[in-house]
Amino acid sequence: MHTIVQRRSRLLAVLVPALLAAGCGAGGGTQAMKGAAGPGAPATGRSAWPTGDTMPSPVGTGAGESENSPRGAVQVYFAALRSGNAEQAAAAFTPDGLAAVQGSPTAEGTQALRKLYQETLAGEQAGKYQIHETRKLGDDRAFVLATSEQDGQSYREFFLLDKSGGGWKITRYMSNQEV
């Protein structure tokens, strides 16, 4: 088995259970990876996100942001969404990247990602994006937790990133509605 595949498999074996617990564990749902949110936690007025090792920060317009850090790569992705640029959104991923977005079939690979964003982005987006936590997992892996608000709906965003060619690219992305 290829070394990269083995590393990703081990990483996902550790992170997917934690992701499912955070994403839909409160209601016992298992639909999150299929693109549908599970039942939410009771309304307590508190966010479902854990407090991270970094302060939450709103994402800027894209100016001066780069793929030289995991946070920067996610900011570039959010800038592409904000501008409605499907090509740039798909380019934020590795060639074998995967996106599990609520309400859409899972997209894997550059062509499927491009199609997903061409179908879901219609011009500039007025959404708000906030990064809550960034953690490096060694020298070439990281994850980022974020939230977004679009058309009055709140979403949780989970990114796994790999360092590739000196920059960071999204390898796995999941989004579901925060209820």
pLDDT tens digits for 63-94?
Answer: 445 568 999 999 999 999 989 999 999 999 99
Q: What's the pLDDT score for residue 165? A: 80
- Is the pLDDT score of 55 beyond 60? no
For residue 3, give the 3-state DSSP assignment: helix
pLDDT at 5: 45
- pLDDT for the residue 103: 86
Q: Greater confidence, 158 or 122?
A: 158
Report the pLDDT value the prediction gives residue 89, as an integer from 0 to 100. Answer: 95
pLDDT on residue 123: 66
Please tell me which residue, 70 or 165, carries the higher pLDDT value. 70
Query: Mean pLDDT over residues 42-52, rounded?
Result: 35
pLDDT in tens, 98-109: 999 988 899 999
Reported confidence tier of residue 124, pLDDT bands at 50, 70, 90: low
3-state SS class at 160: strand
Rounded-to-integer distance, Cα 125 and Cα 113, Å: 18
Instruction: Enumerate the β-bridge partners of residue 168.
Output: 163
Decide: residue 176, CB within 10 A, 0-12 exposed, 13-18 middle, 19+ buried: buried
Strand pairing of 93-101 and 128-136? unpaired
> What pLDDT does residue 142 have?
97
pLDDT, tens digit (0-9, with 9 covering 90-100), for 6-17: 455 454 444 444
Which tokens in the block code for residue 104?
């859409």
| For residue 130, pLDDT beyond 50 | yes
Going by pLDDT thresholds of 50, 70 and 90, the confidence category of residue 125 is confident
* pLDDT on residue 67: 65
